[in-house]
Structure 1
Amino acid sequence: MSRTTLSQKTLSGNTQGELWHDHNHDGIDRRGFLKCMAWAGTGAFCVIRGGVLHSYGMSRLAELDPKEMAGELSFAQISDSHMGFNKPANPDVAGTLKAAVDKINGLAVAPEFLLHTGDISHLSKPGEFDTVEQILKDAKPKDIFYVPGEHDVLDDDGKQFLERYGKGSKGAGWYSFDKKGVHFIGLVNVLNLKAGGLGSLGHEQLEWLEDDVKHFKHSTPIVVFAHIPLWSVYPEWGWGTEDSARAHSYLKKFSSVTVLNGHIHQTMQKVEGNVTFHTAASTAFPQPQPGKADSPGPMKVPAEQLKSVLGITDVNFVRGKQALGVVDSTLE
């Protein structure tokens, strides 16, 4: 067992102390998961000091030194817009995506670009992709970097996704780029899913990753983004990537690694050494907590509560800090 120390309030308002997560076996234990989920809906600003994650609830941001929040680079993550979904869990996914754009446009520090971590569409239909692109044109950041979710590669093994978003990428759509001294790596783990729906990177992509990072200095901040979590959140539901350990072996030399994922439609965070793992909320609908349902899938909540379980992620790089600041905001 490894320890993650969180300083925050749960949705019920009770202060929580230390949360113990099972990082060495099959994901976090159920008690830790439920506590983490109670915290997640509030949003958080996260930093690491001495290898320990410190998380401040959104209500406490006013207490922080603004210098802690400002840096050389700021970007936002959105995920799981599922355009085309029209079930009771959210009959207006276009409306909630527009609300996410409004939230991004209202951030105190304007993001320089967006990351979309997949499931742009619900059924890989051209019109669904078109609608998302039209909505995102209203976002202040004009540069958008995508990786596919499994809903974006239905029927054609991602051919349409690559034609739209994969220009200049390698293989099935993986790529990297640099922004202000930070190295970003977009990975694809939704093709060739394994038993139970686990993600897979595959040998070719992993060889590319090893080569991509080997020439960078250990002090280079690394941001990796992919759809399915690159850590074992809940393998029974396919919430993990089968060969993620090999990817991590190529990244462990770096002093600051941030891994951003979607897929599970809820915010979770874990730290292992110099690596911070973060999953984002969906802009479309929530999914249940493991142990609260027989299987994953769209979860209906009262209409007046929907925006409180959807959200965006704002990430800020401050040179000299060990980790990137991560702030989750609901769409309320």
Structure 2
Amino acid sequence: MPDEPIREGRRMIHGPPATLYREVNMSSHHPFDASRRGALKCLAFGGLGTVFVLSGGILTPVELALAADQKSSAATAGVPLFLQISDSHIGFNKEANPDVAGTLKQTIEYVNAMPVKPALTIHTGDITHLSKPAEFDLAAQLMSGLKITELHTVPGEHDVTDGPGTEYFSRFGKASDNKGYYSFDHQGVHFVGLVNVMHFKPNGLGGLGDEQLEWLENDLKGRSSSTPIVVFAHMPMWTIYEPWGWGTGDAGQAMSYLKRFGSVTVLNGHIHQIVSKVEGNITFHTARSTAYPQPTAGNGTGPGPLTVAGDQLPKMLGVTSVRIARHPLKATLDDTTLV
């Protein structure tokens, strides 16, 4: 296998044949409103979030825009288990999206319009942009409009800019005893929230730390290997692009505890785009932001808000569904444009 990835259209394959890494490029050939207002409307529609469906013991992520469309019921067949939202960045007001509160509100409206709503919501971090009390207050006000009352969160690095994350933990720390990492069970699925934004590695990669890794090992002990596991953390739990810090330096140790389970889904945010990978029984999936896009790995001088001309933004939007079969393990990703 060569050092550089082999590109097959929109598919990128790294490492051994058992590892599938897919970077999704999205395009639209439909008419669009080229104004900034129209572009932001498209951004909200394409970056809403992901609803996860449990059907026959299989977790299937479906783009929220499809789930909210009653005409697309075939795409969401099964029991809606939970919804993932990420990177709302409340407080950001630059050109890439001067109204992040508006796009989060639109996200919530789509969720509330779903014909069958999931029982819980997971937010995978960067709820705010600068960890300011007013930003958390506005985010809480907006998310209180969700008709899904059970909310679980993990912090992103933008939620803990003060170091200890005082504002974040004062609002969201109860479930984890102010540690940030915790677990719970829902409909036969074991959920594990991890924090990888408090112990950064020298190269900018996220870190879990020894204490949290020991806790994870103990949390998983004694659980049946047939239990579906969902892990959620802010930064990717595998190295997507090390020069930009897109990964978690000690994630390998965590994966060693998880590999014995027959179905593991790892959900992250941080990079503001969909990238998926299947390795053994573990499926990795990063979510789009509700705030703004970022460049794809290695394109440009570094990560950050990507300002896109109104006539280009719709070309970056689309929907992705993932079907995961367990026997034998196979991941199928279907990419379609929005309209």
TM-score normalised to structure 2 length: 0.77
Q: Is residue 86–residue 123 contact of structure 2 (8 Å, CA) maintained in 1?
A: yes
1-structure distance, mates of 2:151, 2:321: 14
Give the 5 Å matches for 1:244-323: 244-303=251-310
- Tell me the equivalent position of 1:10: none
Amino acid of the structure 1 residue aligned with 2:25:
M
Residue 21 of structure 1 is matched in structure 2 by 13
Residue aligning to 1:213: 220
C-alpha distance 246-228 of structure 1, shift in aligned 2 (>3 A): same
Aligned partner (choices 84, 102, 110) of residue 103 of structure 1 = 110
SS at structure 2 position matched to 1:260: strand
Q: Shift in Å at residue 108 of structure 1? A: 3.8
Mean Cα deviation higher: 229-238 or 311-320:
311-320
Single out whichever of 157-166 and 211-220 deviates more from structure 2.
157-166
2:67 maps to 1:79? no
Looking at structure 2, the residues matched to 78 and 329 of structure 1 have their Cα atoms a distance apart, in angstroms, of: 20
Runs of 4+ in structure 1 displaced over 4 angstroms? Answer: 39-47, 53-59, 61-65, 303-332
Shift of 1:248: 0.3
**Alignment-mate amino acid for residue 194 of structure 2:** L
Match in the other structure for 2:42: none
Contact 2:50/2:84 (<8 A) preserved = no
Q: Matched residue of 1:259: which SS?
A: strand
What corresponds to 2:191 in structure 1?
Answer: 184
Which range moved further: 103-112 or 276-285?
103-112
Distance 1:56 1:171, change over 3 A: closer
Preserved CA contact (<8 Å) 1:148 1:188: yes
Residues 233 and 240 of structure 1 are in contact (CA less than 8 Å); yes or no, is this contact kept in structure 2?
A: yes
1:147 counterpart = 2:154: yes
Q: TM-score, normalised by structure 1?
A: 0.78
SS of 2:230's equivalent in the other structure is strand
Contact 2:27/2:314 (<8 A) preserved: no
Residue 132 of structure 1 corresponds to which residue in structure 2? Answer: 139
Cα-Cα RMSD: 4.2
- The percent of aligned pairs where both chains have the same amino acid is 51
Residue aligning to 2:179: 172
Kindly tell me: are residues 99 and 126 of structure 1, through their superposed partners in 2, closer, same or farther at Cα, counting changes over 3 Å?
same
Mind listing any 5+ residue stretches in structure 1 that lack a counterpart?
Answer: 3-15, 48-52
Shift of 1:158: 1.4
- For the residue of structure 1 that corresponds to 2:176, the secondary structure is coil
Whether 1:122 aligns to 2:129 is yes
